[in-house]
Amino acid sequence: MLIRKPNPIRSSEITSKDNYLNRREFIRAGAASGAIAGASLSAPAALAAVIPDEPLAKLADIRKPSPFSTDETLTSYDDVTTYNNFYEFGTGKDDPHRNARDFEPQPWSIKVDGHAENTGTFHLEDFVKPHTLEERIYRMRCVEAWSMVIPWVGIPLADVLKALKPTSKAKFVAFETLYDPKRMPGQRRRVLDWPYREGLTIAEAMHPLTILAVGLYGEVLPNQNGAPLRLVVPWKYGFKGIKSIVRIRFMSRMPQTSWNLSAPHEYGFYANVNPEVDHPRWSQARERRIGSGLFAAKQPTLMFNGYAEEVASLYDGLDLRRNY
């Protein structure tokens, strides 16, 4: 069963809208360069790109430590970058790091539309530059019952969304991954209904734990981990952390999400980590911490992945068994 949504690229192929967007980009770029010129009087280093167009370059001016960071042992860089799911580059967990090697994440732009005042197409740099990069060391719990501890570098999603000025109609935020089978070989097979789509309620999106990550271990985000821009929502299963984002849309109704479309009785919209609500085919009560060794026992999974204190109130009155 294929539910095809109208292709979002179509409308931008209409010349008048294209010109319109270009005009806006031009104005924005001008404003941004003005801001840089001002800043450069005091700090010449600010002229360098926030996200260097060079694989694995060091990111500058990262604010840390964050009160939101965990002090648990970090999962090794090697494990974080060679073992993950990113079906756009293959369905095996070692596929992404092999098949994303030649992916060029820059130049990159993000289309913002829906119920917001500040819509249009933004260059990655303009999108990120106004905000301070922060290191956030988060637990990551995959729906497949394994977990990691990852030092992300990113910006709070709330800061970005506020700058886009959502209107009162915006109740949800939807995200889309790049769809380009030439660059993302995994998309040549219809394993999922491409492009990959995810979504959050506006309250979840505005929560201070939610970030847009641009880096890992103090460096530019590797391709296999969702370069150049990905979502990280630490109290939800990993698949909510949509990678290589090209579109952000403010919606009044709950958006469709890829895994929910693929298997609705197994993956819900919320996908909050919950040891009491099992996946229909396996238990979610315990998890294997990657890097803990061959003979290490699985550890208990915590409610909301251990972030209950921060986020439980978002779901007051919601039946979490039904809204999995």
Partner 1 sequence: MNINTRIRYVLKPLVFVLALLPAAFVVTDLFEITGRLGANPVEEILDRFGNWGLRFMMLALAVTPLRRVTGLAWIARFRRMIGLFAFFYIAMHFAVWLVLDQGLYLPGIGEDIAKRPFITIGMLALVLLTAMALTSTAGMRRRLGKRWNQLHTSAYAVGILGVWHYWWQVKADILEPLIYAVILSALLGHRLWHRRARSQGVTPRLRANQGAG
Minimum CB distance to partner 1, residue 67 (Å): 29
Distances (CA, A) of 208 to 85, 202, 205, 294: 25, 12, 8, 36
d(CA 115, CA 250): 5
Q: Does 294 bind partner 1 (CB under 8 A)?
A: yes
Minimum CB distance to partner 1, residue 297 (Å): 4
Q: Does 275 bind partner 1 (CB under 8 A)?
A: no
Instruction: Give the chain's end-to-end CA distance (angstroms, integer).
Output: 23
Residues in the chain: 324
Q: What residues form DSSP beta bridges with 166? A: 116
- The residue range among 20-28, 88-96, 224-232, 308-316 that interacts with partner 1, by the rule CB under 8 A, is 88-96
- The residue range among 60-68, 199-207, 278-286, 314-322 that interacts with partner 1, by the rule CB under 8 A, is 278-286
Q: Does 281 bind partner 1 (CB under 8 A)?
A: yes
Residue type, 111: K
Q: Does 201 bind partner 1 (CB under 8 A)?
A: no
**List 18, 54, 78, 276, residue binding partner 1 (CB under 8 A):** 78
Our CB check for partner 1 shows the closer of 192 and 248 to be 192
Minimum CB distance to partner 1, residue 90 (Å): 9
Q: Does 146 bind partner 1 (CB under 8 A)?
A: yes
Minimum CB distance to partner 1, residue 275 (Å): 12
Q: What is the 3-state secondary structure (H, E, C) of 101-131?
A: CCCCCCCCEEEEEECECCCEEEEHHHHHCCC
Residue with tokens 């600010």: 46
Q: Where are the alpha helices (DSSP H) in 100-217?
A: 124-128, 157-164, 202-206
Q: Does 73 bind partner 1 (CB under 8 A)?
A: no
Our CB check for partner 1 shows the closer of 148 and 209 to be 148
Our CB check for partner 1 shows the closer of 45 and 294 to be 294
Residue 194 is encoded by which pair of tokens? 């491409």
Residue 56 is encoded by which pair of tokens? 């694995």
Say if CB 198 and CB 230 are below 8 A apart. Answer: no
Q: Which residues bind partner 1 (CB under 8 A)?
A: 78-79, 82-83, 87, 91, 93-94, 144, 146, 189, 191-192, 262-263, 278, 281-283, 285-286, 288, 290-291, 294-295, 297-298
